[in-house]
Chains A and B, each alone.
Chain A
Amino acid sequence: MDLTGKSLFIANRGEIAVRINRAAKALGLSVIQGHSEADADMLAVRMADRAVELGPPAANKSYLDVARVVAVAKEAGADAVHPGYGFLAENASFAAAVEAAGMIFVGPTADTISRMGDKVAAREAAIAAEVPTSPGSDGRIEGVDEGLKVAAAIGYPLMIKAAAGGGGRGIRVAESDDDLRRLIPQAQSEAAAAFGDGGLYIERMVRDARHIEVQVLGDGSRAVHLFERECSLQRRRQKVWEEAPAACLSDAARTRVCDASVRMAEAVNYRGAGTLEFLYEPERDEFYFMEMNTRIQVEHPVTEMITGVDLVQEMIRIAFGEPLRLAQDDVSMSGHSIEVRVNAEDPSNNFMPFPGLVGAMAMPANARFDTMLYEGYAIPPFYDSLLGKLIVHGANREAAMNALATALDEIRIEGLKTTLPLFRALVRDADIRADKATTSYLETWLESHAIDAA
C-alpha cells in the first residue's frame, strides 16, 4: 500500500509519539504532531514534518480535549489520527468525532471501544466467544440471595465488583456467607453513589496469579494473534517489566489462550491492534479473561522483538483500509524479549517523581531504547513519568536476562533520578531469574529491599 502524500496526525506525546512518527515515516506518511504549550520542545515535535499546538499544558485543556484535538487535526488537513495509548485512545466519542470529521481513526470502531469499556459487556462477549472467564455470576446479581447461590457454586474467597467500576475501583473481597450478606448491600449503595449504577457482579478471587496478555491484530473480519506477553511485575497496578513470550506457559496452554483471543477478536469484528488481558493460575493451569484494551500498548515492543512484526505500521495500514497482511501461519516467534520501563522516579525515595534537565546520555550497544529523551531536554512535570523503554532480545530467557543486565550496566542518563537502579537490582534477583514472580511479587519485594540511589 502506498501511503505517500497522505498525512497522519499524532494526538499524543512522549515516547509513543516518537514511535508512531517512525512507523508513519517508514510508510511514506507525512507526520503532523499535535502538542501542548509545554511540549513545544519534545522529540516528536522535532521529528515531525509539521507541529501544531493543541492548547495549555494541562492535559484536560490539550491532549484530552476531544473537540479541540479534532478541530486542530482537521484544520491541519490530516487524513488520519493516531491516538497512541492513554489520553483519548480508548474514548469512544473521540473515535466517533474523528470519523464524523471525515478523518480516519487509527483503532477500532467507536462501538467496539465502548463495548469493551463496559466490564459486564466485555465479560459477556468473552463468554459468548468461549473465552475463559473467572467463575462467577451470569451478568449482574439482583441481591443477597442470588449472591449466596453464586457463592455456593464457586466457593470463597470471591470478589464483588461494580459493573460500572474499573481500574480496581469498586471491588470487595468476601471470605464467607456472613461477609457476603454484609458487603452486598454496602457495595450496592456505594456503587450507586460513585457510578450512578448500583449493578454488581461476582467473580472467584484468583490468588498467586500471573498477568498474561495476548496481542491481536484484526481488520474487522479476520484476526491473528502474535503470541502472549507476561507482565506480572507491577507496582500499584502499573506494569514495570514485561516479557515475551511467557516462559511459565506450556505450548498447550499458550495455544489455548492465543486461540481464544483470536475467537474473541473475530467475534467483535476487531479492527487494529488490541490486547486481551488474562490472569493465569499456574496451579490449576487456568486463564481468566480480565479485559480487552483497544489500543497499542506500552509494552508492544517485546512482541515485535520475538515476531519481527512492526505492530504500529500494521495498525496504520489496516486503518487506511488494507486487509490484514498476515495469516496465522505467517506469525512465528523466535527467542525471548524483556522490556523495562524507565521512569523519572526516584526508587530510593518512594518513587518520587523527578522532572529535570537531561544531561549526558550513553546508549547500550545491543538493546533497543524507545525514548522521548535527548541531551538538554527539560522534562515537563505535567504528564506521566515514562521516559523510555529499554528492550532486549536473547535466544532464550536466560540470554535475555543477561543481555538486560549488560544493557543496564551500559545505559547512562545523567541529570535525572530514574528507575534504572531498581532494574539493576531486579535483574539479579534469584526469584525473578527463576521466573517465580506473580502479580504481588514486586510490592512485597519492595517492602524488604532498599534501592541505592545511583
Chain B
Amino acid sequence: MAKQIQSPLPGTFYRKPAPEEPNFIEDGASIAVGDTIGLVEVMKTFHEVKAETAGDNARFQAENEAPVMAGAVLVEMD
C-alpha cells in the first residue's frame, strides 16, 4: 500500500510558500523525512507540514489552495 502524508490540521492547503514561488515538492519527486511538503492555513495562521516518513514518486492528492480536513491525505508516495 502506498505511503501517505496526512494533514495534521483542518484548513486550506498550499503547495508553495508564496503564490509566485515554485511548489515545495513537485509531483514525481522524492520526499525525505523532515521535508516541508506544504502549508496549512488555519484561522489565518500558517503551519508547515513536514514529512514524517520518506518516499519516492510523490503523488499529491490535495490541490493547491484546497480546503482540507484534519487527517485528509495530502500526498501518496512509494
Which chain A residues have a beta carbon within 8 Å of chain B's beta carbons? 38, 56-58, 344-345, 352-353, 355, 381-385
Q: Does B78 contact A (CB under 8 A)?
A: no
Give the docked Cα–Cα distance between A382 and B41 (Å).
8
Which chain B residues have a beta carbon within 8 Å of chain A's beta carbons? 9-12, 42-45, 65, 67
Query: Which residues of B have CB within 8 Å of A385?
Result: 43-44
In the complex, the answer to whether B12 meets A57 with C-beta atoms within 8 Å is: yes
Give the docked Cα–Cα distance between A381 and B45 (Å).
10
Can you sample 12 A-B contacts with CB below 8 Å? Answer: A56-B67, A57-B67, A58-B12, A58-B65, A345-B43, A353-B42, A355-B43, A381-B11, A381-B12, A381-B43, A383-B43, A385-B43
**Chain A interface mostly:** loop
In the complex, the answer to whether B65 meets A384 with C-beta atoms within 8 Å is: no
Give the docked Cα–Cα distance between A267 and B45 (Å).
39
Q: Which one of A344, A352, A382, A384 has the greatest number of beta carbons of chain B within 10 Å?
A: A382
Contacts A355-B10, A381-B10 given; indicate if A58 touches B67 (C-beta within 8 A): yes
Give the docked Cα–Cα distance between A57 and B65 (Å).
10
Beyond A38-B67, A384-B43, 13 extra complex contacts between A and B, CB < 8 Å? A57-B67, A58-B67, A344-B43, A345-B43, A352-B45, A353-B42, A353-B43, A353-B44, A355-B42, A381-B10, A383-B44, A385-B43, A385-B44
In the complex, the answer to whether B44 meets A384 with C-beta atoms within 8 Å is: yes
Closest residue of A by beta carbon distance from B69:
A381
Query: Which residues of A have CB within 8 Å of B9?
Result: 381
Query: Which residues of B have CB within 8 Å of A355?
Result: 10-11, 42-43
Q: Nearest 7 CB-CB pairs, A to B?
A: A353-B43, A381-B10, A385-B43, A381-B11, A381-B42, A57-B67, A353-B42
Give the docked Cα–Cα distance between A38 and B10 (Å).
12
Give the docked Cα–Cα distance between A381 and B66 (Å).
12
Closest residue of B by beta carbon distance from A56:
B67
Give the docked Cα–Cα distance between A64 and B65 (Å).
15
Query: Which residues of A have CB within 8 Å of B11?
Result: 355, 381-382
Query: Which residues of B have CB within 8 Å of A383?
Result: 43-44
B49 to chain A, nearest CB (A): 14
Give the docked Cα–Cα distance between A38 and B43 (Å).
13
A40 to chain B, nearest CB (A): 13
In the complex, the answer to whether A353 meets B67 with C-beta atoms within 8 Å is: no
Query: Which residues of B have CB within 8 Å of A381?
Result: 9-12, 42-43
B17 to chain A, nearest CB (A): 17
Query: Which residues of A have CB within 8 Å of B43?
Result: 344-345, 353, 355, 381-385
Closest residue of A by beta carbon distance from B40:
A381
Query: Which residues of A have CB within 8 Å of B45?
Result: 352-353
Query: Which residues of B have CB within 8 Å of A382?
Result: 11-12, 43, 67
A58 to chain B, nearest CB (A): 6
Query: Which residues of B have CB within 8 Å of A353?
Result: 42-45
A318 to chain B, nearest CB (A): 31
Give the docked Cα–Cα distance between A110 and B44 (Å).
27
Give the docked Cα–Cα distance between A38 and B11 (Å).
11
Closest residue of B by beta carbon distance from A385:
B43
Give the docked Cα–Cα distance between A58 and B19 (Å).
15
Query: Which residues of B have CB within 8 Å of A352?
Result: 45
Query: Which residues of B have CB within 8 Å of A344?
Result: 43
B32 to chain A, nearest CB (A): 26
Query: Which residues of B have CB within 8 Å of A38?
Result: 67
A53 to chain B, nearest CB (A): 15
Give the docked Cα–Cα distance between A355 and B68 (Å).
13
Query: Which residues of A have CB within 8 Å of B67?
Result: 38, 56-58, 382
Closest residue of A by beta carbon distance from B9:
A381
Give the docked Cα–Cα distance between A381 and B65 (Å).
13
A323 to chain B, nearest CB (A): 39
Closest residue of A by beta carbon distance from B67:
A57
Closest residue of A by beta carbon distance from B65:
A58
A38 to chain B, nearest CB (A): 7
Query: Which residues of B have CB within 8 Å of A345?
Result: 43
A210 to chain B, nearest CB (A): 27
A350 to chain B, nearest CB (A): 10
